[in-house]
Amino acid sequence: MTTAPERAIEQRDELGLPADPFGSGQVGKPVLRYGGGDRASGAQRFVADLVFPGALQVALVTVPVGCADLLGIDTTAARAIPGVVDVVTPADLPSPMPRFGVSHVDRPVLADGRVNYHGEPVAAVLAETADAAQAGARAVVVDYRELPGVYSLDAALADGAHLVQDPSIRPGHALAETNVLEEAHYTWGDVEAEQQRADVVVENTYTFPMVTHFPIEPGGTVAVPTDQGGLDIYSPVQHPYLLQRTIASVIGLPLNQVRVFAPDPGGGFGGKQNPKLEPLLAFLALRTRRTCRIVLSLEETFQSMRRAGCRISARTGFTKDGELTFHLVQADFQIGAYADVAPRVMGKGSYVAAGPYRIPGVRIDARAVVTNTTPSTAFRGFGSPQVAWATESQLDAGARELGLDGLEIRRRNLVAKGEPFVRGESAAAADGEWIQSLEKAAELIGWDTPLPPGRGRGIAVGIKPGATSGLSQSLVRLLCDGSAIVYAGTSDMGQGARTLWQQIVADELGAELDHVSVVSGDTGTVPFDLQTSASRSTVFMGSAVLEACQDVRRRVLELYAESTGMDPSELDERPGVLVTPDGEISLPEAARTALGSLRGEFIGQGTRRLRGKSKHPLGGDAAFYEFNATAIEVEVDRETGELLLTRHVTVSDVGTELNPLQVVSQDEGAAIMGLGHSQMEQLLLDEHGRIRNLGALDYRIPTFKDVPVELVSAAVENHDGPGPYGSKGISEGALLCTAGALGAAVTDATGVVIRDLPLTPERVWTALQHQH
């Protein structure tokens, strides 16, 4: 009788890939989500669900404007409220005010003499109950003088504009006296000559709104002082080790005195990558020597994170045959009051502002512009959706001038595998057969089939660079009974990373799937992982887990040889089995024989490291690119401007589907999220810089009533990725070009061109009225 591990081996090809993705091996199967049952049933415990007896509850004090000088803070009334233990103001923190940040160390723990955005905390109230803390926060009297803050790109870039950040924060920086935090410039080819060669030139300006991440779990943090003078921090942060390093630096502690527990977040989308209120809670816990806990409301969560808005002006040239000749881009990202990771978003997004196309002359100029608004941070797509909205719309504008359709203009310009789409010193080349995704999307949407009146189709493509540097480390333990434990620092924030590791370990070590468990979310237990972002979980941590399994297999072979007296050269190992002169035996069986009566276990270690390049504008070459083609069919109600998506097709280049169910789920989620910023989502500000549509009632996100009538998700597999078994990172691709495809479909249906997102019914209706 053939054992399960042996069947898995029989169905792998020479590359180690499952020859039959739905064979007996776990890799390639639609395995159900690790921990998914708790999420579906409501048993999942988020940070707010954790119980900390005797913890002080924290409430924040803010002022009702987006920009103001702080003149004084009176805490007398607040301290008199029963249950209030302490009120901490900037004067109670070290001087100068401690600051932190990812790209720039510019964010103060509490507002440092000036409020720079609506919702920035100016004080914190600590009380025995949440009600007392909130009452205390309302009782704090803040004396302030409102300043003429800058709440838009035009206001921030105007001559003599109010400076959001004091120049002393950026000493010696060439842009310190402006509201431009950083710039990025990319250019290649003879732009002037290519402009002369163009037969058709289109020039337009596009806007992309500020939107919020809207996680189902609000922000929250718990800080627990330890008996040794250190801190335990509980946070749904995506980068536990980055938070550990930040807290240690701000407080002045060695890393081993800061332990971060990161329970699974209820949605991250980039918004929970980086520290926000954790440094404040750390100071409060050390000050009171008590556990301090804060859970934000949804409205407060809105004020703590968002995506950068963007304005893109583009000028693009084509020959009469539809060949792109040049593309000029000026992109201004509205990043908010503090840097966070937004300069990186600006730089990485604008790097691919020419799209995945063959363009001989390109000049891209981008700026990260600070305004008195909520600091922006990473958001699914990381700057690429903003620039793709403009570039894809430019291609359609050129196609209309030339009498071509959206599919044909892309066919003629899309790069082939191995062909550069970014040229010059920082050249980047296509790492997939991207035309296959485009053609598949066109086929699935029925591109050439007739349409009824009032309907239109659009197609677009998007690209995003993956991680350009990274370090992921993993430990895998094979226990004496054949079960296994994986230790990995990657956060599982919805991408299902632990499921993939479970599948990999089951196949590589011959374990039963439900006998593989995963430990993560604790810097005191799991090995180092740089971060959970840029769709790196599969490629980086997955590779580290795979290497750790291979290390385990080698150790089993060596001890088996020692225990049996065999010559190691007579043995070999493969996924799931040990090969002996007498035949193959399952790896768990070989492990039991090797361990003998003393039992014990085998421990393997794996590392995936990608070193950056200091002279590269992104800090290194991308490990892979996410590529997606999206096609949308829409019906437009000319009387109301409402859009009905009758079919939405998304096709991603995935390398290898390690878990088809998760690939489909991620692409569907990203596609619907992309419809949010394309159709309805936008943060609206009043004249004082306050968000007018805080919360779920006034800020619309897609619901079941808004999803397409038919949503089709497909993938292209060529096993050409750098991850395990030829996989690539996914999960962001399906929202990169949603807006471009939808905008093109609306134009096809109505003849009107709209260049400002979102395409709300009001905006569509207004454009239709101006058509006549």
Are 449 and 487 within one domain? no
Domain boundary among 246, 273, 295: 295
Sheet holding 114-115, edge to edge: 114-115, 68-74, 141-146
Write down the pLDDT at residue 17: 47
How distant, in Å, are the alpha carbons of 3, 187, 204, 308, 703 from that of 328? Answer: 61, 9, 11, 21, 37
Q: Is 246 helix (H, G, I), strand (E, B) or coil?
A: helix
How distant, in Å, are the alpha carbons of 13, 112, 271 from that of 243? Answer: 42, 22, 14
- Boundaries of domain holding 336: 309-467+616-771
Are 660 and 605 within one domain? no
Closest CA to 536 of 266, 736, 731, 305: 731
**For range 705-721, the mean pLDDT:** 96
**Is position 60 within any domain?**
yes
**Half-sphere exposure in the Cβ direction for 609 (13 Å, CA):** 4
**Is position 156 within any domain?**
no
Write down the pLDDT at residue 22: 41
Residues 674, 735: Cα–Cα separation, whole Å:
4
Write down the pLDDT at residue 614: 84
Query: Is the distance from CB of 311 to CB of 331 less than 8 angstroms?
Result: yes
Are 622 and 553 within one domain? no
pLDDT in tens, 423-482: 987 899 999 999 999 999 999 999 999 999 999 999 999 999 998 888 999 999 999 999
Instruction: Give helix then strand counts, H and E, for the chain.
Output: 20, 30
Identify the H or E element spanning 437: helix 434-445
3-state helix, strand, coil in the chain (%, to 5): 30, 25, 45
Q: Which of 182, 194, 668, 732 is catalytic?
A: 732
How distant, in Å, are the alpha carbons of 151, 230, 349, 414, 628 from that of 460? Answer: 32, 51, 17, 11, 8
Q: What is the pTM of this model?
A: 0.95
**Half-sphere exposure in the Cβ direction for 214 (13 Å, CA):** 20
> Is 732 one of the annotated active-site residues of the chain?
yes
Residues 19, 523: Cα–Cα separation, whole Å:
38
Domain boundary among 295, 324, 357: 295
CATH code for position 60:
3.90.1170.50
**Is position 202 within any domain?**
no
Domain boundary among 247, 271, 295: 295
CATH code for position 765:
3.30.365.10
Write down the pLDDT at residue 532: 75
Q: Is 217 helix (H, G, I), strand (E, B) or coil?
A: coil
Measured in residues, the chain has a length of 772
Alpha helix (H) ranges present in 153-257? Answer: 153-157, 191-197, 240-251
**For range 384-395, the mean pLDDT:** 98
**Is position 207 within any domain?**
no
Total domains in the fold of the chain? 3
Backbone torsions φ then ψ of 595, nearest 5 degrees: -75, -35
pLDDT in tens, 159-201: 999 999 999 999 999 999 999 999 999 999 999 999 999 999 9
Identify the H or E element spanning 717: strand 711-717
Residues 224, 524: Cα–Cα separation, whole Å:
14
Whether the pLDDT of residue 1 is over 80: the answer is no
Preceding omega of 64 cis (within 30 degrees of 0): no
**Is position 164 within any domain?**
no
Are 324 and 271 within one domain? no
**For range 699-703, the mean pLDDT:** 95
Are 100 and 89 within one domain? yes
Are 476 and 462 within one domain? no
**Is position 229 within any domain?**
yes
For residue 385, give both structure tokens: 């959706």
Are 431 and 474 within one domain? no
What mean pLDDT is reported for the chain? 94
**Is position 107 within any domain?**
yes
Are 289 and 315 within one domain? no
Are 620 and 756 within one domain? yes
User: What is the Cα gyration radius of the chain?
Assistant: 27
Are 517 and 629 within one domain? no
How distant, in Å, are the alpha carbons of 114, 249, 252, 335, 439 from that of 344? Answer: 26, 22, 27, 11, 32
Identify the H or E element spanning 641: none
Are 141 and 231 within one domain? yes
Are 423 and 484 within one domain? no
Residue 23 pLDDT class (50, 70, 90 cuts): low
Whether the pLDDT of residue 760 is over 50: the answer is yes
Query: Is the distance from CB of 373 to CB of 333 less than 8 angstroms?
Result: no
pLDDT in tens, 365-377: 999 999 999 999 9
Alpha helix (H) ranges present in 565-659? Answer: 587-595
Q: Write the DSSP assignment of 478-512 as a string of letters.
A: EETTS-EEEEE----SSS-HHHHHHHHHHHHHT--
**Is position 143 within any domain?**
yes
Amino acid at 278: E
Residue 767 pLDDT class (50, 70, 90 cuts): very high
Greatest Cα pair distance in the chain: 90
Write down the pLDDT at residue 6: 32
